[in-house]
Amino acid sequence: MDISEVSKQTGIPSSALRYYEQKGLITSVREKGERRHYAPSVLDQLALIALGQAAGLSLDEIRSMLSPYGQPNIDRQLLIAKADEIDTLIKRLKAMSSGLRHAAACPAPSHAECPSFQKLLKAAANGALEKRWGKTKLHAPRG
């Protein structure tokens, strides 16, 4: 397949395909002055690259898990570490979501009078919000 066909099938711009090739993620074959041609297996390689990027892996990390011919050589420890990072992010995002919902439904006359809101403000002021956010418990709105 030539580069335009790969681009059309995957939706990946030709410039990105050339960049992936430059970074050693995919390989092409071409004669001098001809267009790049890729083996059909490049589609699987590009799917693995997209999956790795969606998981937050860098192109260098992804490249380290691909052999020159596209066979995956999965670094299980790297995947476990990335999954742990994602789990931590999920906990932080859930806590932030809870905090926003609490602020929207808090029964206190003003947020300045809400103990949970004050706890979050103090944590933010002390720079500890990033560390404590996932552990901060907010009281449930009364209703």
- Of 96, 93, 60, 92, the closest CA to residue 78 belongs to 60
Single-letter amino acid code for the residue at 101: R
Do residues 143 and 107 touch, judged by C-beta distance below 8 A? yes
Residue 71 lies in a domain: no
Q: What pLDDT sits at residue 135?
A: 46
Do both 60 and 91 map to the same domain?
no
CATH number, domain at 58?
Answer: 1.10.1660.10
Residue 142 lies in a domain: no
- The rounded distance, in Å, linking the Cα atoms of 24 and 106 is 53
| pTM tops 0.85 | no
- The rounded distance, in Å, linking the Cα atoms of 25 and 36 is 15
Q: Which of 19-23, 43-47, 51-55, 95-99 has the lowest mean pLDDT?
A: 95-99
Residue 41 lies in a domain: yes
Give me the number of domains the chain comprises. 2
